[in-house]
């Protein structure tokens, strides 16, 4: 069994058309948070996605004034607060290669790094440059994965149990090689859906996300999440912190 700790870099804002499919008419900016997840148990220290530092640097002053109530926290500071040094992390699972989920991968010198094969290949192929422009897909971390972290990089396909009680499941809706993660805890199964849903409302009101690669796979992922009857921890919904004020499950 594992415990899952929700780490939150802080508050952020996203266009409504990213969070909700355009046709539903929810276009106003949406206040979001930037969560990533520390999983501990069975002698392992596992991180799911990397968080991102200096969230304010990605916002306008107007957005900061309207949406941000406290300064953002760095990934390293959050980990140290939880009693974990970056070098302690033995497994880093990346749900997908969008910058807010991978950009801090370089903090972890000892982790095996688990990534879907399709996700890795897709962002590296020059013919996909219109999918992965530099601004949203900073390549320094890709270079690091292909160089310093090469021996530790594990590409997976489909559904794989990466450690006993921890599975990655390819979903491929939000991005080509997007994967969700499930974790067995004393409170039941936890699903970390990555960005297949941004908000609980995507599931509850049945509104798919607006930023997707394959729409049918987004809808299939929503059905899969719903069918699992598990604790769902979205990466960007502030409501996670109301539902789990201790930030700990298991
Ligand atoms: Zn994403």
Handedness of CA 111, 116, 119, 122 (dihedral sign): positive
Tell me the residues surrounding ligand 1 (ion) with CB < 5 Å. Answer: 98, 195
- Residue 197 CA to residue 234 CA, distance in Å, equals 7
Q: What is the mean pLDDT of residues 162-170?
A: 98
User: Do residues 233 and 240 make contact, with C-beta atoms less than 8 angstroms apart?
Assistant: yes
Q: What is the mean pLDDT of residues 19-23?
A: 98
- Residue 94 CA to residue 141 CA, distance in Å, equals 12
Question: Tell me: the pLDDT tens digits for 22-53?
Answer: 999 999 999 999 999 999 999 999 999 999 99
Q: State the distance from the centre of ligand 1 to the C-alpha of 174, rounded, in angstroms.
A: 7
Question: Tell me: the pLDDT tens digits for 95-114?
Answer: 999 999 999 999 999 999 99
Closest CA to 99 of 133, 59, 128, 147: 133
153 class by beta-carbon count within 10 Å (0-12 exposed, 13-18 middle, 19+ buried): middle
Q: State the distance from the centre of ligand 1 to the C-alpha of 96, rounded, in angstroms.
A: 7
Q: 3-249: what fold? A: Metallo-beta-lactamase; Chain A (3.60.15)
């Amino acid at each position: 069994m594992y415990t899952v700790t929700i780490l939150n870099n802080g508050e952020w804002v996203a266009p409504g058309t990213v969070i909700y499919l355009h046709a539903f008419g929810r276009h106003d900016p949406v206040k979001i948070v930037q969560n990533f997840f520390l999983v501990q148990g069975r002698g392992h220290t596992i991180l799911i996605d990397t968080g991102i530092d200096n969230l304010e640097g990605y916002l306008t002053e107007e957005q900061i004034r309207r949406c941000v109530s406290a300064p953002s926290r760095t990934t390293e500071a959050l980990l140290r607060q939880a009693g974990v040094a970056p070098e302690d992390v033995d497994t880093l699972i990346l749900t997908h290669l969008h910058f807010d989920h991978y950009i801090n991968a370089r903090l972890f010198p000892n982790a095996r790094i688990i990534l879907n094969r399709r996700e890795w290949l897709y962002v590296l192929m020059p013919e996909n440059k219109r999918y992965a422009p530099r601004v949203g897909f900073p390549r320094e971390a890709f270079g690091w994965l292909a160089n310093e972290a090469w021996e530790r990089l594990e590409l997976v396909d489909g559904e794989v149990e990466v450690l006993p009680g921890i599975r990655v499941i390819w979903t491929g809706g939000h991005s080509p090689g997007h994967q969700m993660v499930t974790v067995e805890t004393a409170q039941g199964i936890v699903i970390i859906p990555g960005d297949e849903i941004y908000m609980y409302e995507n599931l509850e009101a049945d509104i798919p996300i607006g930023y997707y690669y394959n729409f049918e796979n987004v809808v299939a992922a929503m059905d899969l999440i719903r069918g699992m009857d598990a604790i769902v921890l979205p990466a960007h919904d502030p409501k996670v912190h109301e539902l789990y004020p201790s930030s700990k499950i298991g």
